[in-house]
Structure 1
């Protein structure tokens, strides 16, 4: 009897190995497939942006048309190669992109890649802070609403969620500035930091452009407090826009899983309601939230344009607005392409995280 059991053990372990390999192989294929999908996505977006930017003519005429003589304008167009066939310009542009060349801005004659690296850190910092606000508000209020379903707290939170995602981000930003900067005078109304903090950052040998990290590098808590005070209102304005969506998602999915069969079975075994909510109903409800988070990142980056303009937060959104006003389509094209790439990569990361939490996502 023991011999047959011992003989069966290796065969069982051998039988289990292919299953584990199949799972790991399936997960690997899932990651590779999702990663490869980034290439056609970005290619399509690059193509659309290129031809839309050229729909009103060449970039030099758009940016400089009223400030140059016709002869000088034609000379500049010829030197830049914008009088060539559009398909030739497009192929050259793809070749430049492959070598990391996004062109040179027309209004201030700077490499577009320099603009992206200089101001991209500011947008990244704002987006991360806003995402923290959105997750904290969305998860906390969503769980409270689900726990007190159809009660006064639930109704109030649902109204709050509607107001969050229905209020234009620029209006919310102006309202926050009016209340906390003008009336109460407790928070700054614009900028990323004070002039004194900016001067302190000049001391850094290798600044990251992320002011919170740079303040930590300085080891100066006064600078860190100043940076955080400047970040509160922009992060709230942008974060609450997404928090409204997260509140409704968390509430709906927690209620759905809370009433599922396996939760009812756990309840019948005497598991407390608090444990049912925190242990049994919460994790399954997390999958749709993570999935939707990728789409919300795109919404957040779009909202960053208005948020940065409202608070004079000099990031990519602020510069995009500036270059749009100047009709500098070369700069606009580069910024839009970078944002598209960020959104594509963020969605890839979200897909991978969702697959790690729930293996069913892989198939």
Structure 2
């Protein structure tokens, strides 16, 4: 009797110890993933800085041939580009820590102003594209898995390949040709009509996100106008990611449907539709969550071509303009911001994946 008495408390303490260990594992995982952002961003910033200086100083690249040699040297000296490259690099890092990305050479604007003015447009487009990717990729992936090796499955697999193999600018031009020029259903370009843009600019402290600002006006016509302008760019960019989601969902649902517990449920007479709804689709979402970070990077890179195609005034559109002007200071700032956004997005995705699937933490 005396030897059995302590067994109760010891047994009861075991789950608590296990929970504390699990919680510690999650906390340690989050801290490690967050700290990894620092070297990731540092390497990206250093790489961008070196590549931007590979062709010489930014002022010569942007203004060479338009200024006399004396004027050019004066501008180079005033900007500090005649100093040793290491001194320039340390000065640039110090500016980034203070939130100073420099000043554009082509239009003499603070790069931070460019980022805040046009960054919201790019993030809004990426959000629209993600919605399209989810609405197309997940349902079609479930249909393809439930109709494995049949005609719908074959058709959707070809559709997925076309989605992520078609250049986004070509998809955009094709959508404009059919739905804007041919059918006249959607606007050809822009984020909103001129009247709506004027209306949005009259708001106090506009957010830069046109849909949010249009809702704030309380005018349904403004909201409808903003959404109509967003449809074609969102579809062109979203289909690029939808193809990846479709194949991921299909592959993982097929794998889930062949597991032992699903086979046991099927042997008890559970219908295929119920198996798909109750058991198969949720595990298939985990790999999608883990690759969202990579897809955000893909969306932001695709936004350059999408925004140029639809004249969507975002960071991608401005990046193309600054590249043409050889304004490497502006290009450097935009690329660094995109790199930081991608790194933070990957961190958030990793944390969400660890919360959903504890195996990710170890």
TM over 0.5: yes
Runs of 4 or more above 6 Å deviation: 3-7
- What per-residue deviation string (whole Å, max 9, x for no partner) do you get for residues 257-316 of structure 1? 111122112222332212211222222222211111211111110000000000000000
The answer for the alignment partner of 1:115 in structure 2 is: 114
Shift of 1:4: 10
Secondary structure, in 3 states, of the residue corresponding to 1:193?
Answer: coil
* TM-aligned CA distance change 1:245 to 1:101, over 3 Å: same
Taking the TM superposition and a 5 Å limit, the aligned residue runs for 1:70-219 are: 70-219=69-218
Unaligned residue ranges in structure 2 (runs of 5+): none
Unaligned residue ranges in structure 1 (runs of 5+): none
Secondary structure, in 3 states, of the residue corresponding to 2:185?
Answer: coil
- What per-residue deviation string (whole Å, max 9, x for no partner) do you get for residues 203-223 of structure 1? 211110000000111111000
Taking the TM superposition and a 5 Å limit, the aligned residue runs for 1:231-270 are: 231-270=230-269
Distance 1:278 1:354 in 2: 21
* TM-aligned CA distance change 1:175 to 1:5, over 3 Å: farther
Taking the TM superposition and a 5 Å limit, the aligned residue runs for 1:24-39 are: 24-39=23-38
The answer for the alignment partner of 2:359 in structure 1 is: 360
1:63 aligns with 2:62: yes
Q: TM-score scaled by structure 1?
A: 0.97
Shift of 1:9: 4.8
1:300 aligns with 2:299: yes
Q: TM-score scaled by structure 2?
A: 0.97
Distance 2:128 2:210 in 1: 12
The answer for the alignment partner of 1:223 in structure 2 is: 222
- Cα root mean square deviation, aligned: 1.5
Distance 1:9 1:311 in 2: 69
Shift of 1:5: 9.6
Larger CA deviation: 353-362 vs 6-15:
6-15
Distance 1:283 1:29 in 2: 27
Larger CA deviation: 128-137 vs 279-288:
279-288
